[in-house]
Structure 1
Amino acid sequence: MGRRRPRTGDDWKVLAQACTELLEAVPDLVDEHLRELHAYDPAYGRILPYDQHWHEAHTAMRIGIEMISAPRDTPRRDLEHAEEMGRRRAEQGMPLELVVHAYRHAGHLVWDALIEGAQTRTSHLAALMQSATMVWSAVDAQADTASEAYRATEHELRRRTDEQLQALLDALLQGQRAPEVVARAAAALDLPEQGRYAVVVLRHDRREPPEPFHRQVQGTGVRFLWRMRADCEVGVVALAADTGLDALSDLLDGRCPGPGGISPVVTGLAELGRARRLAELALRTCPPGTRQIVRLDRRIAGALVVSQPEMAGLLVSDVLGGLLGLDPADRAVLLETLDAWLDCEGSAGRAAARLYCHRNTVFNRLRRLEQLTSRSLSRPRDLTEMTLALDAFRLTTAGGGPTT
């Protein structure tokens, strides 16, 4: 904050006298100060009412002049006032550059006035020049103190704002639908109450520290708002009119570590709670160990299974009961074959290519499955039951443990 020279000797007496005489001119200096500040940047006038600004500048300038020549052990009232002004200007939203400029401009005015008052007295002018370093050290200390207080207040305001925004976003994701809550959230988050939204839920790998996904994901036609939680990250996605879930899936794929779930599109902020639940349901359809990010609208059957665990268990025992007594490796081969055959739309040849075996091997395994399940893959109802049972086996406790 700058060391002050000893308050003794002729130099100090001259400075003290000059400061005392200058106090009478403070109102005129403040008028000139505000006039030149407003000419430098009209923002001063937009942010502060003139009368308030004038009063605060008058107080600051008077205290500053008094402290220039005050005894060395006098408490630094100028720095206390600068700290208060720094906090206040941050709360008022005045840019820090303008705050610092105001302090330095006031310092120039005071110094020029001191020099002008000593022009007719050569000995006084020489004495004042000896005090220049001390005067400008005081001005620098005031500007630095105001800046530090400004930055600390700005940081605290930003933290409070972030907490408020997160609380509003959490309220929407928890299913708050009250009109006043939705309206406040829309205004604070700068989002339309009615619009196209989706929710993404990404589960963290508990073995690794979570990465902030929002730093990696950007795209045209989408806007992400992310909320970090203990074991997952939830993203609210505002979609442009011409942006669909295909574009969102492509954007997330390869940029975010899975597993993850994407909800269907909803049409307003009041629907985000439902969208979050549906995204979590989509996430639950990801088998253990997968890194996929899946859409609920493409996992409806699996979602039905995981949403009814008791019925899923009954489905596994009823449909796949004949496989449960097999050697685990043998059972895995049969279920893998069924899965490949379903993915290949019932083509034994394509399934064989995927499994690196002969197509007759695929047929033999499918026939064995039909025998063990007492169901026929050629009958639609039986095929539906086997497909659901396969999902249930892989996604529930019967398939190796819960996936949530």
Structure 2
Amino acid sequence: MRSRTDSEVRELLRTSAARLLERLPTLTDELVRRGRRSDEAYRIAIPFDDHWKSTHEGMRVGITAILQPRHERRDVAYAQTVGRRRAEHGLPLDSLMRSYRLAAQITWDGVIDIVGDQTPERLPALLRSATHVWHAIDRQAVAAADAYRRRENELLGRTNEHVHALLDALLEGRADAAVTGLAAAALDLPEQGRYAVVTTRLPGRPDRAHRPETLGGLRLLWRMRADFEIAVVLMGDRDLDDLVAAVRPVICGTAGISPVVDGLAELATARRLAELAMRTCSGDRPEIARLDRRLPAALVVCQPGLSRHLASDVLGPVLASPDRGVLLATLEAWLRCEGSAVRAAGELYCHRNTVFNRVRRIEQMTGRSLSRPRDLVELSLALDAVRLHPEP
């Protein structure tokens, strides 16, 4: 009995499918009209002729599948083709899924009309075929959605690669005026504007790489390098103090910040200056270095051979002393505290007289006075040279 009923259902579907194919242009007209009327995305993204032709072919392939053995059916393969094409058109996936639901409704209504007109007494038996029809179209919809997502990911990857390549061209100084214009459009950034560059080692959140983010009202675009990250920052009317405050919570290593430059075309210069600022950090503690406040140290970094000679010439006796570490720490604290023995003593956890005694000892050993401007400059630069170019 069950076998006879299933056979009757299959026969009903085959008969209905053959008649539906005769009405195919009318069914296509209805599906396209209702789809474009109810979904603005189709009207915007898909030209009418393309929509009609693909719908006509999809309906033909789907209905024909009812008449074919399973191994000859092309409905799932065609649905995958449609899914890929709609992703390329930029049609939202929800719109594509709604079109399949509407196609199922129109197809099923067509089957009911055919059976109702010709053999109404067989309508109860037709109800058994409902799950077959809806399941077939649902299978097509799933295939289309899977293909859509795969193609969307491919396109997104290519788009991201293109955007990253443009940003790299700016940062590496390989962008002419035409490329700069393309980069501005792709990155959604003004070609002329106030920019700064941040470079950092040991990032706080590795997942931010290659992504834009907003920190403290500033827009940052990050790029990963082999051993550090670079961020292009659209400054607007903000200053570098605002930038330091914004990035401090996400920096757990050393970082360098460039001066502000005018326009995307100057990002390569800003990147080099940010990297130079980062090189003025000794690396033994988290530190954010602004180049505009590290210019003497930057000069030391740029001339390693001369810097080592300066360190040896100015601080040679101190470096050779058994008390080298204590004396260098005292000199660094004295300079950092702007010659205040009280503040330096607080940092060094000793009495201010101890600071005075150590300072006098440094002056005697080096033959230089911290009260003479020229000597002060030499001692400061020599200390930077020791810090940034340690002996091998």
- TM-score after normalising by structure 2: 0.94
Query: Aligned pair 1:374/2:367, yes or no?
Result: yes
Q: Is the 8 A contact 1:227 1:234 kept in 2?
A: yes
State which of 154, 157, 160 in structure 2 corresponds to 1:159. Answer: 157
Higher helix share: 2
CA shift for structure 1 position 358: 2.1
CA distance in structure 2 between the aligned counterparts of 1:179 and 1:6, rounded to whole angstroms: 76
Cα distance per residue 1:140-183 (max 9 Å; x no partner): 00100000000111111111111111111111111124111111
Match of 1:95 among 84, 92, 96: 92
Counterpart for residue 234 of structure 2: 238
Change (3 A) 1:82 1:6: farther
The structural deviation recorded for 1:216 is 11
- Matching residue of 1:80: 77
1:365 corresponds to which letter in structure 2?
R
Aligned mate of 2:141, from 143, 153, 156: 143
Q: Is 33-42 or 94-103 further displaced after alignment?
A: 33-42
Please give the per-residue CA displacement for 1:200-259, whole angstroms capped at 9, x wherever unaligned: 111128xxx973356897434310111122211111111122x11101101112332121
Number of residue pairs aligned between Structure 1 and Structure 2: 388
- Structure 1 distance, partners of 2:144, 2:194, is 45
Partner residue, 2:260: 265
Deviation for aligned residue 1:385: 0.4
Name which of 183, 186, 197 aligns with 1:199: 197
Does the alignment pair 1:107 with 2:100? no
Moved more, 345-354 or 137-146: 345-354
2:251 and 2:286 in contact (8 A); partners too: no
Q: Residue 390 of structure 2: which of 382, 388, 397 is its match?
A: 397
What does residue 34 of structure 2 align with?
36
Which residue is equivalent to 2:215? 219
For the 8 Å contact 1:217–1:252, the answer to whether it is kept is no
Offset of residue 10 of structure 1: 3.2
Kindly, what percent of the aligned residue pairs are identical? 51
Deviation at 1:354, TM superposition (A): 2.2
1:75 Cα deviation from its structure 2 partner? 2.3
Distance in 1 (alpha carbons) for counterparts of 2:235 and 2:340: 37
- 1:1-400 alignment to 2 at 5 Å? 9-71=7-69, 73-120=70-117, 121-204=119-202, 211-213=206-208, 218-241=214-237, 243-327=238-322, 330-398=323-391
Aligned to 2:286, what secondary structure does the other structure show?
A: coil
How far residue 323 of structure 1 moved from its aligned partner, in angstroms, is 1.6
Give the direction of change, closer, same or farther, for the CA distance of 1:10–1:350 in structure 2 (3 Å limit): closer
Please give the alpha-carbon distance, in whole angstroms, between the structure 2 residues aligned to 1:345 and 1:45. 70
Q: Name the structure, 1 or 2, with higher relative contact order (CA <8 Å, separation 6+).
A: 1
Residue segments in structure 1 that go unaligned for 5+ positions in a row = none
Paired letter, 2:300:
V
**Partners of 1:335 and 1:313 in 2: CA distance:** 16
Deviations 1:84-109 (A, max 9, x none): 00000001000000001111101110
Alignment CA distance shift 1:217-1:362 (3 Å):
farther
C-alpha separation in 2, matches of 1:213 and 1:83: 33
Segments of structure 2 that go 5 or more residues without pairing to the other structure are none
Distance (Å, rounded) in 2 between the aligned partners of 1:7 and 1:297: 87
Deviates more, 1:117-126 or 1:280-289: 117-126
Rounded Cα–Cα distance in structure 1 between residues aligned with 2:242 and 2:122: 77
CA apart distance, 1:7: 12
CA distance in 1, matches of 2:244, 2:213: 11
Q: What SS does structure 1 have at the residue aligned with 2:116?
A: coil
Aligned-partner residue type, residue 345 of structure 2:
A
Given that 1:83 and 1:146 are in contact with CA atoms closer than 8 Å, whether structure 2 keeps it comes out as yes
Contact 2:277 2:291 in 1 (8 A): yes
1: CA distance, partners of 2:5 / 2:146: 28
Q: Is the 8 A contact 2:197 2:271 kept in 1?
A: yes
Query: How far apart, in 2, do the equivalents of 1:7 and 1:64 lie?
Result: 24
Question: Would the aligned equivalents of 1:221 and 1:239 in 2 still touch at CA under 8 Å?
Answer: no
Q: What amino acid is aligned across from residue 337 of structure 1 in structure 2? A: T
The aligned amino acid for 2:248 is: D
Aligned-residue offset at 1:79: 0.6
